[in-house]
Structure 1
């Protein structure tokens, strides 16, 4: 018969063999799990690399906002006025380029019958507005047009840029003209008090957003307007001419203190310089 000691030894060997088998099974399971994880990670890397490659190749076909910004430019959206909505006061000179520079400055020169008025435009603040002005100026859009509105009350501005304000006299439709496109507002002075200080040149618009066109106004007295109008730049010379026009007053054709300026302001030409800096 088998002695008690031998039975104990056999039982111990069996327990050890069972424990070793379990350890081996757990080790195999760990290796299988690690292999699966590694394979999954490799597959993800392959997929990610493929997606990146396809995206990179696709980007060669069309520009993106990020790419444009990295190149020192931005994409501008020019919203064309539908043909059926265009009036005779609208002047078609095509659309500006889609890409606009976002660095440097330009000098706007407004040559009037009273003398030159100049302004500094910072492209970092208003890349699309500056691009629009550069385009319109190159098409002589503003040449031989009259500044059609002067306000002399709480708001002191001289407004220009309407191509329908031409000819021998001011038309009844003055103030409604522009190009065949509109675009979004930029550089809004939401944190400035006053929002539009004396010497600012800003863009006129309707009450609707993204309705900026060609009309602009020169502020000759601090104005706390609603900050929804693009600040295009700052007058650097010629403010004395604008103030003289303001002092002469308006014909009050719109209301008291608001109408055509009594002193006629004819824009003989408006030019934008090459980008500096």
Structure 2
């Protein structure tokens, strides 16, 4: 991934074995830059237009205030089966707010998960891009929500990025492990469908250019994303 975890483009670090979304950051930020202000049960978020990377699908940025309480269940219906995960607003309110907005606008419908990584250091499936890995976002970006203590065990759902505060639509599932810096916002946990991720991994990765990091041999298609409160 370009550094977009996209799991990094885990870029620098793995350059050869990581996902771009999951970029390889040498130094992870020590404090979260956002959300900016807390007002009771809501926080302020800022969704900054990226004219250099216009929206790949007609989509509106979320409103600039996000709830900080409650959870949301997301179901991804894929050609390999359903993957369900629970998003926690308290942990990452702006990130959950954004993902819910994109889901409601059907941004993820009829898209593909373009990147699969399976190396001694990183095991993730990267989704959320429209055209190909690292290309095709919603036309805006927003800040990280980090504590500096993030870990990424199996079943974690986190945002990909191209560097600090460049979140958009790209996200990844940790299908096995991710020994990466705490530089990617964690916003969910898989509650059903780890076996689906295992099937995807078992299908393998196209050997070129890197048999440990690239496009899944069998295309992974998200037919529909659904949200339930």
Normalising by the smaller structure, the TM-score range is 0.7 to 0.9
Structure 2 residue aligned with 1:69: 39
| 1:191 alignment partner in structure 2 | 149
Specify the SS of the correspondent of 1:266: strand
TM-score, length-normalised on structure 2?
A: 0.79
User: Structure 2 regions of 5+ residues with no counterpart?
Assistant: 1-35
Alignment match, 2:50: 81
Q: Which has the higher contact order (CA 8 A, sep 6+)?
A: 2
Name which one, 1 or 2, has greater alpha-carbon Rg: 1
Runs of 4+ in structure 1 deviating by more than 6 angstroms, as ranges, are none
What secondary structure, in the 3-state scheme, does the structure 1 residue paired with 2:39 have?
A: helix
Residue of structure 2 equivalent to 1:126? 92
| Equivalent residue for 2:126, pick from 159, 184, 196 | 159
Q: TM-score, normalised by structure 1?
A: 0.66
Distance in 1 of aligned mates of 2:222 and 2:208: 21
SS at match of 1:222: strand
Q: Alignment RMSD, CA only? A: 1.7
> Quick check: 1:202 aligned with 2:169?
no
Following superposition, the deviation at residue 214 of structure 1 comes to 0.4
1:224 to partner: Cα distance: 1.2
Distance 1:161 1:247 in 2: 21
Q: CA deviation at 1:94?
A: 1.4
SS at match of 2:169: coil
Question: How far apart are the structure 1 equivalents of 2:214 and 2:53?
Answer: 25
Return the alpha-carbon distance in structure 1 between the equivalents of residues 209 and 170 of structure 2.
18
CA displacement at 1:91 relative to structure 2: 3.0
Higher normalized helix content (fraction of residues): 1
Q: Give the paired residue count.
A: 193
Can you give the 5+ residue segments of structure 1 that lack an aligned partner in the other structure?
1-64, 166-173
